[in-house]
Amino acid sequence: MEVVIHSSLAELAVATADRFEGAADGRLQRIGLATGSSPLPLYDELIARHRRTGYLAAVEFFQLDEYVGLGGDDPNSYRQFLLEHVLGPLGLPAERLHAIDGAAADPFDEADRYEAELVAAGGVELQVLGLGSDGHIGFNEPGSSLGSLTRVKTLTATTRSDNARFFAAPEDVPHHVITQGVGTILRAGEIIVIATGAGKADAVAATVEGPLTSSVPGSALQLHPRVQIHLDEPAAANLARADYYRETLLARPRLPDPPR
Ligand code: F6R
């Protein structure tokens, strides 16, 4: 894993947005998007660049996860989050987002359908991830199979409490989600993880320097050959090898590897 520690969120936004330059000449066509607070500086930078160059005009986007029980038009759904924060400001139609239907009559069937849709599309060349304070990626909570595919998961109390800030009342946070599995995520050609703030410091250290374990699903990223994790100083605070990472010579963005 390439660990990149930034002195400001503005610097983090520029460095992560640089990984999308392949979209300018069509090398990058399918991008997976996380929701939540962590990727917002990146998304704002992508929108600013796109307004100057239009370089994301042909890209297709894929949802990472969705709450079970919330339809795609619900203001708290992750589909709406991505339309509001990414596709809308980019001026792209909603159809450009491959969405998970949280209100599907059978969420288990919907999970299988979405996994098949991803495979049929050829997978994503680039996946954006956040990191849960409990070490989750997507909504693969601790204990998730490291080979899992898109499926229904139950949120932990920690995650429901972390996400309560987006809802009118804590009890409104759904208990279940449909999420790409760890195995699904690991098929992406390249992965960018963004984690900021002191609340992520333990999860970052366990993900980057801890053993590979389903207790910390983020640690599965150690198996992927092309992962960058971008941090601010507070999120990097518990890394034993922080000084070493600061000397990292970053690989230039290059031709995307095909999805695995
Ligand atoms: C969101 C997702 C989650 C979040 C994680 C961090 O689509 O899959 O894994 O990335 O919970 O959330 P924030 O960035 O809000 O701290």
205-247 confidence digits (pLDDT tens): 999 999 999 999 999 999 999 999 999 999 999 999 999 999 8
Q: What is the dihedral of CA 47, 195, 148, 189, to 10 degrees?
A: 50
Q: Is 65 a catalytic residue?
A: yes
Q: Distances in Å between the alpha carbon of 124 and those of 29, 57, 91, 184, 191?
A: 8, 16, 21, 10, 10
Residues 6+ apart with CB under 8 A from 102: 66, 67, 68, 69, 70, 71, 72, 74, 77, 78, 79, 110, 174, 177, 178
**CA–CA separation, 221 vs 207, rounded Å?**
8
pLDDT given for residue 26 in this prediction = 84
**CA–CA separation, 192 vs 104, rounded Å?**
30
**Rounded (5°) CA angle 174-178-181:** 135
Q: Of 136, 162, 230, 232, which one is the catalytic site residue? A: 136
Q: Is 141 in the pocket of ligand 1 (CB under 6 A)?
A: no
Q: Is 34 in the pocket of ligand 1 (CB under 6 A)?
A: yes
pLDDT given for residue 51 in this prediction = 97
pLDDT given for residue 119 in this prediction = 98
Site of tokens 């092309």: 226
Q: Is 35 in the pocket of ligand 1 (CB under 6 A)?
A: yes
| pLDDT tens for the 260 residues of the chain, in order | 999 999 999 999 999 999 998 888 888 999 999 999 999 999 999 999 999 999 999 999 999 999 999 999 999 999 999 999 999 999 999 999 999 999 999 999 999 999 999 999 999 999 999 999 999 999 999 999 999 999 999 999 999 999 999 999 999 999 999 999 999 999 999 999 999 999 999 999 999 999 999 999 999 999 999 999 999 999 999 999 999 999 877 766 555 666 77
Q: How many Å lie between the centroid of ligand 1 and the Cα of residue 259?
A: 22
Q: What is the pTM of this model?
A: 0.96
Instruction: For residue 47, give the nearest of 15, 71, 13, 79 by alpha carbon.
Output: 13
For residue 85, the 8-state DSSP code is: I
SS3 162: helix
Work out which ligand 1 atom sits closest to the CA atom of 64: 7
Site of tokens 């979405």: 114
pLDDT given for residue 249 in this prediction = 74
pLDDT given for residue 257 in this prediction = 65
pLDDT given for residue 256 in this prediction = 60
Site of tokens 């946070």: 173
pLDDT given for residue 173 in this prediction = 96
Q: Which amino acid is at 182?
A: V
Q: Distances in Å between the alpha carbon of 32 and those of 47, 92, 129, 174?
A: 16, 15, 8, 23
The two structure tokens encoding residue 27: 């090398």
**CA–CA separation, 101 vs 88, rounded Å?**
19
Residues 6+ apart with CB under 8 A from 184: 115, 118, 138, 148, 149, 150
**CA–CA separation, 154 vs 31, rounded Å?**
25
Give me the helices (H) in 37-186, please: 40-53, 78-82, 88-90, 107-121, 157-163, 182-186
Instruction: For residue 185, give the nearest of 231, 230, 219, 210 by alpha carbon.
Output: 219
Q: Is 37 in the pocket of ligand 1 (CB under 6 A)?
A: yes
Residue nearest atom 3 in ligand 1 by C-alpha distance:
138
pLDDT given for residue 76 in this prediction = 96
